[in-house]
Structure 1
Amino acid sequence: MTTQLPELSGPPPAGPQADWSRSSNPYAQYSPYESTNPPRRPSHRGRVAVLVVGACVMTLGAGTLGGAIGYLAARDSLATESTAVVAASSLGSPNGSIAAVAAAVQPSVVQLDVTSDAGSGTGSGFVLRDDGYIVTNNHVAGPAAGSGSIKISFADGSTADGILVGANPGYDIAVVKVDRANLNAIAIGSSADLVVGDLVIAVGSPLGLQGTVTTGIVSALNRPVTAGGEGETAFINAIQTDAAINPGNSGGPLVDSTGAVIGVNSAIASMGTSAGQPGSIGLGFAIPIDTVKRIVDEIIANGTSSTPVIGVKLDMAFTGSGAKVAEITTGGPAETAGLLAADLITKVNDQVIADATSLIVTIRANAPGDRVTLTVVRGDQTLNFPVTLDALTS
């Protein structure tokens, strides 16, 4: 028997998309939220990125940068009511099997339906704590800031209103709170020990299909990726996976073979299309959970979080190997350490720096107060500078 999938109706589910084959960063993706305004032409003025605490304010737009996989759906698209997820059964499945992992994880995964002045969208998230704290992407929940609303749909079919506790757009992470206790909190793993080839499982609501489970492996690590919505661009030192990740998976967990979350799904690469919204081609990207943990802990404690910075502006027009310093921030860590304008940063500790984006994501994988060693080429000299990372609060 053939079952026909529900058809999309109404306007296209997402806004304009960058053609990644012509983007200066092939992992920069499309905007997840639709707007009635025509897309703005990318600006090529001021090709300088500000790496303040690793925070990068980019005035260079390479097509439309964006959050990769948030799914904007008109309210009459796909399902409009919350329905209970038929969870995978672990009965008869050996520990560590995909069925057993899915059965353990699905009760902790939620769907977010977000409305704002710009439109409405659907994404995924997971229960961090049993007292109501939920983790998702900023490009999913962030649009609800101000006059927007968030509806959380749980795997048992129940729903609750969520409030945005805080977000860090630079990492594409947000925390939402519901007034509910005794939730099924997900197990938290570590991304530090991941190796290429590890089994991973993605759970979420692609195209609004709540409770969808897909599998794959870790395809690569430390992949520099830009993601986020129409606001500040996020820079992620990402986990790359071939697990099928599609619009609507944004904010959902990427878990390991034990069912512990090791990443937050945030972006996909696409070949580019002139109409509609792209889907998975086996290039998905997740924010490492070790980075996420620091951000969400700070948001829950303070409502804000910090981003590590070194205090330089980078020359984004530079096409050579490494990250070229355009300007030093007065009083910042780089000036204190002795860096100069026109220095070429080629390594952070033992990590080779290919370009400006590579430097930004490598710095952001650390925390404020961490001490790193920058390898710098200055003329015919190669110099090493110990730098203590400063903090920028968002």
Structure 2
Amino acid sequence: MMLKPMQWALVALVFLALSLPASARPLPDFVPLAEEHSPAVVNISATRTTEVPEHGGMRQFEGTPFEDLFERFFGEPPGSGGDPRQRERDSLGSGFIYSEDGYIVTANHVVEGASEIVVHLSDRRVFNAEVVGTDPQSDVALLKIDAEDLPTLELGSSEELRVGEWVLAIGSPFGFDHSVTAGIVSAKGRSLPSENYVPFIQTDVAINPGNSGGPLMNLDGEVIGINAQIYSRTGGFMGLSFAVPIEVVGDVVTQLRDHGEVTRGWLGVLIQEVTRDLAESFGMDKPSGALVARVQADSPAEKAGFEAGDVILRFNGLDVPNSSALPPIVGRTPVGAEVEVDIRRGSEDKTLEVTIEALPEDIAERRAAPEQPGEARPEPQSLLGMRLEPLDAETREELGVDNGLVVLEVEDNPARSAGVRPGDVIVQFARQPVGSLEELEERVEQAGPGTTVPVLIQRGGNPTFIALRIPQD
């Protein structure tokens, strides 16, 4: 029988309803979140004394939030040339009320070096704030204002956060206070250059200068991070923003409030990523863990028996999926704690016990103690596509290594394919030290043709492992 037009329309609607995914949900309603939680978000104005050029072509940005943008992202105030002069300027940021008695959390770079900090509340009250403490390594600062019975935000858990989940930011981009932006979690545990102790939350929430220090919240209105950085080629938002996880913030705030400073755990190893080729050279099924490139002198790792070439797989019961995951885990470990560390050494799995110490202030200056034996320098020789010669005592002392062969020239494969460069110093081959051409030839013979071996080199004073495949005969 023929269906009437109304019947066809009904069939079409039924078909459309059945074709929709069962899990389809409407977009979240951000209105209640913004209305309920905005009162606990504050605007922060920090006054600094800076040197700026007397003349310049971009003076129109002085005294505006855009000036802070130029200095934050380009490393200098707007304008160039002329004699420097000192003047005070204001930079803007955000924060949120941590406790009813006036503690406020923000980003360290918002208040760093400020001579005066002013906090503006949503009810138009204004307070001068004092700095309780700052932690540049996590970019977290704790302020205090003289006020009581303030609205606060509830803290959530970034560990329970899932990639793809909706999140909300409230802040003061370019001085437009209590601006609300939303997006999703793009990734977790991101490692950024020079930020070793923070596993950042990456989102696509619109963040701009002035948002820094403001809260990142989940759909329950809980703070799961503070907005800290953006990745940009222009100085403005380009879809990549990063927040400090609330677990890191909470630990830092507690230490700042109780002690005025932050103490972090220290293991004392320089690490690198385990690549696919390196994983093969270590006999691992897949790349994972943190590869130890150097054990620092008089460190907890040295005392516990760690060696260069160890791959750290688990630390204190927590998996270490990659090298960037290890520093935050170690940093959060209490000083004095005795922990077990599961490692891969060669083809064997071992467990080492280490007592965590406090991160030294002079950590960047610490180096392994060199030895200084005197010996004559033999003639350079060629091996594995490299022209090599042993290090003399003076060079060993300068590089901070006990032994090694310096690469004078990369002539052919396999060295070229492995990425060896002239000036590299080969310290280990197949996890064994080498100090002469004879020792290197012996290590090559022991490894055998067709095998991939880890090679520890010094490049520019920094240790790193590469994977070198010994050619077939």
TM-score by length of 1: 0.65
Distance in 2 (CA, whole Å) between partners of 1:123 and 1:393 is: 31
Distance in 1 (CA, whole Å) between partners of 2:207 and 2:339 is: 34
**C-alpha root-mean-square deviation of aligned residues, in Å?**
2.8
Q: Which residue of 2 aligns with 1:195?
A: 162
What are the within-5 Å matches in structure 2 for residues 43-82 of structure 1?
A: none
DSSP 3-state at the match of 2:294: strand
Distance in 1 (CA, whole Å) between partners of 2:348 and 2:35 is: 57
Pick one of 252, 264, 275 that aligns with 1:307.
264
Pick one of 301, 307, 311 that aligns with 1:340.
307
Count of aligned residue pairs for this structure pair:
284
Q: Which residue of 2 aligns with 1:161?
A: 128
Distance in 1 (CA, whole Å) between partners of 2:356 and 2:90 is: 38
Q: Which residue of 2 aligns with 1:142?
A: 112
Task: Give the greater-gyration-radius structure (CA).
Answer: 2
Distance in 1 (CA, whole Å) between partners of 2:36 and 2:193 is: 31
The letter for the 2-side match of 1:297 is: T
Q: Against the structure 1 CA distance between its residues 369 and 264, is the aligned structure 2 distance closer, same or farther, given a 3 Å change threshold?
A: farther
DSSP 3-state at the match of 1:131: coil
DSSP 3-state at the match of 1:183: coil
Q: Against the structure 1 CA distance between its residues 116 and 281, is the aligned structure 2 distance closer, same or farther, given a 3 Å change threshold?
A: same
Consecutive unaligned residues in structure 2, runs of 5 or more:
1-27, 51-88, 279-286, 362-473
Q: Against the structure 1 CA distance between its residues 130 and 340, is the aligned structure 2 distance closer, same or farther, given a 3 Å change threshold?
A: same
Distance in 1 (CA, whole Å) between partners of 2:225 and 2:334 is: 17
Q: Which moved more, 1:175-184 or 1:358-367?
A: 358-367
The letter for the 2-side match of 1:142 is: E
Q: Which residue of 1 aligns with 2:100?
A: 130
Q: Against the structure 1 CA distance between its residues 225 and 235, is the aligned structure 2 distance closer, same or farther, given a 3 Å change threshold?
A: farther
Pick one of 219, 224, 230 that aligns with 1:257.
219
Q: 1:225 aligned to 2:186?
A: no
Pick one of 99, 109, 126 that aligns with 2:41.
109
Q: Which residue of 2 aligns with 1:88?
A: none
TM-aligned CA deviation for residue 315 of structure 1: 6.8
Deviation per residue, 1:357-390 (Å, 9 max, x gap): 4432343355545665444343444433344433
DSSP 3-state at the match of 1:245: coil
What are the within-5 Å matches in structure 2 for residues 1-394 of structure 1?
A: 97-118=29-50, 120-144=90-114, 148-226=115-193, 235-270=197-232, 272-273=233-234, 277=235, 279-314=236-271, 322-330=290-298, 332-348=299-315, 349=317, 351-355=319-323, 357-364=324-331, 366-368=333-335, 373-392=340-359
CA contact (8 A) 1:166 1:299 kept: yes
Q: Which has the higher contact order (CA 8 A, sep 6+)?
A: 1
Distance in 1 (CA, whole Å) between partners of 2:296 and 2:187 is: 33
CA contact (8 A) 1:373 1:385 kept: yes
Q: Which residue of 2 aligns with 1:89?
A: none
TM-aligned CA deviation for residue 234 of structure 1: 6.0
Identity of aligned residues (%): 36
TM-score by length of 2: 0.55
Q: Against the structure 1 CA distance between its residues 108 and 369, is the aligned structure 2 distance closer, same or farther, given a 3 Å change threshold?
A: farther
TM-aligned CA deviation for residue 323 of structure 1: 3.5
